[in-house]
């Protein structure tokens, strides 16, 4: 603190007792600043006292100081309005003053702080006037000058205590509003975050039903805006089917049929995801898989053929205990490479990420033409992988729904 201690107390004494000059008490801005500082230092409650009678101002100020209050004295209404600040807890206000009446001061200060308690301290003793003032202005209290000083002190004490409670409640309400605002912002942020996470989980779940978990994670980590959109692409399509399944199930219980299919599909799905194919759908005992989308592979034909060969080998393993149950079932495949339309197809309520087009139909017709254990591929599929597989050529195959006969190739085995 830059002000010397002796200077503080000198100004403090001058401030509270005042210097009576020309019938009024004058306080410099410096006195007010020091007084406010000292009140803050010593934790005193500030009471504003407004009266144009110097003797009354000094008498009441002394009474309040003796009670431990810090007193801010004002010799007129205009001065009171200028000096009023947030540190004032109660105002003791005269009504009849020459420059500005206490009633006018009341309205102006209440417009600044509606909660501040104001006690009218006046010589008006007529009951009708007091009732009228209380009715129109609603002061905290009305104390007649010259009455018992203890009455005024008790009234001030009650007003101060009331204002303390009001201030505390206002602070609590402000804190609650701030907290509620923070909670609302947090909840909105949390809702948005949860919504985004749920959407992310749903997208990932949908992806994982089509492609291997590794591909799904790759797509999601890199952003999926460019994936799984409608487009025309060069892909390799594979249809697989179980030959003899319909006949075998005629003598099977429904539960056994479902268990057989679940076992078969579980093993086939592992191989589809191993070669990073996209599982389009299960169709009864059939499977539709395509390669080259949503992740583009240059070797999609090789992946499709190697997957089909492994699927055939796995089906032969399963066939052993199928035969023990009296089920003579074997797998066959049809594979074709060509340009197809790929994307989300369906309605608002039911969408499917699938492939359509003439080249898809050819792959399906090949699967229908294939015998048990065969993997039939087209020349387009064979073109890029001749050195990787052994095949048997089958010439002039007439496929259902295809105008011209075509040469197809049965995959005997994969090399390497």
Convert the pLDDT of each residue in 389-408 to its tens digit: 999 999 999 998 888 999 99
Same domain, 254 and 387: yes
User: Residue range 180-206: average pLDDT?
Assistant: 78
Domain stop point among 154, 172, 190: 172
139 and 279 within one domain: no
Quote the domain boundaries for residue 65: 44-172
Q: Tell me the pTM.
A: 0.54
In this structure, the answer to whether residues 229 and 342 fall within a common structural domain is yes
Query: Does 198 fall in a domain?
Result: no
Residue where one domain finishes, among candidates 172, 203, 235 = 172
Q: Are 246 and 143 in a shared domain?
A: no
Structural domain contains residue 80: yes
Domain identity same for 388 and 277: yes
What pLDDT does 146 receive? 83
Query: For strand 406-414 and strand 375-378, is the pairing parallel, antiparallel, or unpaired?
Result: antiparallel
Of 118-122, 158-162, 200-204, 392-396, the range with the lowest mean pLDDT is 200-204
Residue 178 forms part of a structural domain: no
Inform me whether the pLDDT recorded for 27 exceeds 50.
no
Looking at the structure, tell me whether residues 229 and 160 fall in a common domain. Answer: no
Confidence of residue 168 (pLDDT cuts 50, 70, 90): confident
Q: Are residues 233 and 363 in the same domain?
A: yes
Does residue 271 form part of some domain? Answer: yes
**Domain-embedded: residue 22:** no
* Domain presence at residue 212: no
Q: Is 393 within the bounds of a domain?
A: yes
CATH of the domain at 114: 3.40.50.2300
Say if residue 318 is in the same domain as residue 247.
yes
Which CATH number is 357's domain given? Answer: 3.30.70.1230
Q: Name which residue leads in pLDDT, 51 or 41.
A: 51
How many domains does the chain fold into? 2
Q: What is the pLDDT of residues 302-338, one digit of tens each?
A: 999 999 999 999 999 999 989 988 889 999 999 999 9
| Pair (283, 357) in one structural domain | yes
Q: Is residue 55 part of a domain?
A: yes
Average of per-residue pLDDT values in the chain: 84
pLDDT at 204: 65
**What are 124-140's pLDDT values in tens digits?**
766 667 677 777 888 88
Residues 167 and 229 in one domain: no
């Amino acid at each position: 603190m830059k002000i010397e201690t002796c200077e503080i107390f000198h100004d403090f004494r001058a401030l509270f007792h005042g210097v009576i000059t020309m019938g009024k008490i004058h306080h410099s801005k410096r006195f007010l600043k020091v007084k406010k500082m000292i009140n803050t230092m010593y934790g005193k409650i500030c009471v504003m006292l407004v009266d144009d009678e110097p003797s009354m101002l000094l008498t009441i100020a002394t009474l309040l100081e003796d009670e431990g209050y810090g007193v801010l004295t004002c010799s007129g209404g205009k001065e009171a309005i200028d000096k009023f600040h947030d540190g004032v807890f109660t105002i003791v206000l005269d009504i009849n003053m020459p420059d500005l009446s206490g009633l006018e001061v009341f309205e102006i200060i209440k417009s600044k702080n509606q909660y501040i308690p104001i006690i009218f301290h006046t010589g008006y003793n007529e009951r009708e006037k007091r009732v009228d003032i209380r009715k129109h202005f609603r002061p905290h209290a009305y104390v007649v000058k010259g009455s018992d000083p203890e009455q005024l002190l008790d009234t001030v004490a009650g007003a101060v205590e009331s204002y303390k409670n009001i201030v505390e409640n206002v602070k609590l309400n402000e804190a609650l509003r701030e907290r509620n605002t923070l909670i609302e912002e947090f909840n909105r942020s949390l809702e948005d975050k949860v919504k985004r996470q749920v959407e992310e989980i749903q997208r990932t779940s949908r992806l994982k039903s089509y492609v291997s978990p590794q591909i799904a994670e790759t797509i999601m980590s890199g952003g999926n805006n460019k994936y799984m959109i409608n487009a025309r692409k060069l892909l390799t399509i594979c249809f697989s089917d179980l030959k003899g399944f319909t006949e075998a199930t005629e003598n099977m219980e429904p539960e056994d049929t479902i268990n057989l299919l679940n076992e078969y599909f579980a093993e086939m799905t592992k191989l589809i995801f191993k070669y990073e194919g996209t599982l389009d759908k299960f169709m009864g005992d059939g499977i539709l898989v395509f390669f080259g989308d949503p992740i583009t592979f240059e070797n999609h034909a090789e992946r499709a053929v190697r997957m089909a060969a492994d699927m055939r080998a796995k089906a032969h393993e399963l066939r052993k205990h199928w035969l023990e149950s009296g089920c003579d079932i074997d797998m066959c495949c049809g594979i074709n490479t060509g340009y197809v339309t790929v994307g989300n197809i369906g309605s608002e309520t039911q969408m499917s990420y699938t492939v359509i087009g003439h080249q898809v139909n050819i792959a399906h017709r090949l699967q229908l033409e294939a015998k048990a254990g065969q993997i039939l591929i087209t020349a387009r599929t064979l073109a890029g992988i001749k050195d990787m597989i052994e095949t048997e050529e089958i010439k002039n195959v007439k496929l259902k729904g295809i105008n011209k006969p075509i040469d197809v190739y049965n995959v005997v085995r994969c090399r390497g």
